[in-house]
Structure 1
Amino acid sequence: MNEFNMWNNTFATSTLDMWDIVMAYTPRIVITLLVLVIGLLIAGSLGKLVKKLIKMTPIDTLIAKTGLTKKIEEAGVSYAFSDVIGWLVKWFFIIVVILTVTTMLQLTAVSVFLTDILNYIPNVIVAIIVLTVGLIIGNFVGNLVEQSIKASHMIATAAAGVLSALAKWVIVIFAIMAALSQLNIAQELIHILFTGIVAMLAIAGGLAFGLGGKDKAAEWIDNLAQENAKKR
């Protein structure tokens, strides 16, 4: 009988302790769930807002003119700059919400992991913006160089195409290198590759200019010599 009473008292005490724990954590769990639900709704709304704001600008159209959007869609992937940035912004705030929840629940290891991800997302956004701006500027400069050379009639048409492509890809490669550097990916290797690629493009451009424009340059020099001779 004494053993039964002892067991009964132990069970009752354990049950009461468990009930106290449940009652102590219930408000925290309810608040955590509210924070999670409201935070996810806000994160989704902010992502959509950023997406709409970017769509109001000509950025998507400018990127499409570079040919990047078409090539990505040919691979079976729907791509728009506004969609990507909107998606990243949404997930940035989703992680902020989850980080808040894990902190409230005192899940330290998860909080540290999410903090690392949260700190890296801005680097991804900046890298995408740098790459996008580089593609737009590279495409613009390439077209400008080609039109300028054709209008000057100083260099052969074939060389104009080579030089315009050279100008475009120098900028694009620089943007790619800058984006990778922003992501902290093999920075020393990127620096070496960038130096080598720029040197290679400079040599290629010099050869293209020399081979394509030497006849025009000789003709221009002869014309100047003839005009000077007539003046004398």
Structure 2
Amino acid sequence: MPDSVEVLRTAFVDLWATIMLFLPKFAFATAVIIVGIVASNLLKKAVVRLVHMFKIDDLLERLEVKEIFHKAGVKLDIGEVLGFLVKWFVIVMFLIVAADAMQWTQITVFLGQVITYIPNVLIAIVILLVGLLLGNFVQDVIRSAMEVAQMKSANFLSGIGKWAIIVFSGMASLVQLGIAEALIQTLFTGFIAMLALAGGLAFGLGGKEHASKALDHLYQDLREKHKENE
């Protein structure tokens, strides 16, 4: 009987020692998480205010970037997007500190991988936005040039140029994120082939009338020269 009491007493002592070692770590980790949540919300609000202060949303609206997302059924608020990314970046950073304090190695490693992946998300967003801006610019340039040349397929070809750049930037963004890189490369090759075929057909149909007029002029010039030689 005394041996059983001693075993039980030892077990309770070990349990109490474990709890006493756990509680300070748990309290510190909880405090870190709370501070992280508060800091992340404050930083998110600061980012949103900065974006609105510099009127980046207005710039994207003038460049018709927001209109593209609107057509896709997505309401773009760049301030909220950047604020969301900053918020969760800070939260994950504080979670890493908390997990490390609790000596949860696997969680620490996983969150570290999340942190290293966030810059890829930011770069992918930048690539997509640049693609949208460049696509609109190229569309305006092609349309203006073809309207000056009085080609009927100006809107069609300018649209092809615009969406070719947008699709390319979208694929580049997915590659940056490491999503199905082999599949994206295959789709990109097929897209380029389809674009070349569509562009050739459009150019042929749009330039048929101009080519016919040029051949008529050439035929008339040759006839006149032939008559002069006779």
Q: TM-score, normalised by structure 2?
A: 0.80
Q: 1:59 to 1:144 in 2, by over 3 A?
A: farther
Q: Does 2:143 match 1:149?
A: no
Runs of 5+ unmatched residues, structure 1 = none
Count of paired positions = 217
Q: 1:17 to 1:188 in 2, by over 3 A?
A: closer
Q: CA RMSD in A?
A: 2.7
* Paired residues for 1:183-202 under 5 Å: 183-202=177-196
Q: Does 2:70 match 1:70?
A: yes
Q: Report the AA paired with residue 106 of structure 1.
A: Q
2:228 is matched with which residue? none
Q: Report the AA paired with residue 23 of structure 2.
A: T
* Paired residues for 1:77-92 under 5 Å: 78-92=75-89
Higher mean displacement: 208-217 or 99-108: 208-217
Q: 1:215 to 1:78 in 2, by over 3 A?
A: closer
Which whole-Å deviations, capped at 9, do the CAs of 1:132-189 have from their partners, x for residues lacking one? 2211210221122112321x2x2423x1011101110111111011011111122122
State the distance in 1 between where 2:127 and 2:183 align.
19
Q: Is the CA contact 2:28–2:98 (under 8 Å) kept in the aligned structure 1?
A: no
Q: Is the CA contact 1:155–1:212 (under 8 Å) kept in the aligned structure 2?
A: no
Which whole-Å deviations, capped at 9, do the CAs of 1:181-213 have from their partners, x for residues lacking one? 111122122122212212221222222122212
* Paired residues for 1:168-187 under 5 Å: 168-187=162-181
1:21 is matched with which residue? 18
Q: TM-score, normalised by structure 1?
A: 0.80
State the distance in 1 between where 2:52 and 2:192 align.
34
Q: Report the AA paired with residue 199 of structure 2.
A: G
1:98 is matched with which residue? 95
Q: Is the CA contact 2:124–2:173 (under 8 Å) kept in the aligned structure 1?
A: yes
State the distance in 2 between where 1:199 and 1:6 align.
84
Q: 1:50 to 1:146 in 2, by over 3 A?
A: same
1:216 is matched with which residue? 210
State the distance in 2 between where 1:130 and 1:57 align.
21
Q: Is the CA contact 2:28–2:101 (under 8 Å) kept in the aligned structure 1?
A: no
Runs of 5+ unmatched residues, structure 2 = 225-230
Q: Identity over the aligned pairs, expressed in percent?
A: 37
Secondary structure, in 3 states, of the residue corresponding to 1:19? helix
State the distance in 2 between where 1:213 and 1:140 align.
23
Q: 1:146 to 1:59 in 2, by over 3 A?
A: farther
Q: 1:69 to 1:190 in 2, by over 3 A?
A: closer
Q: Does 2:121 match 1:124?
A: yes
Q: 1:197 to 1:69 in 2, by over 3 A?
A: closer
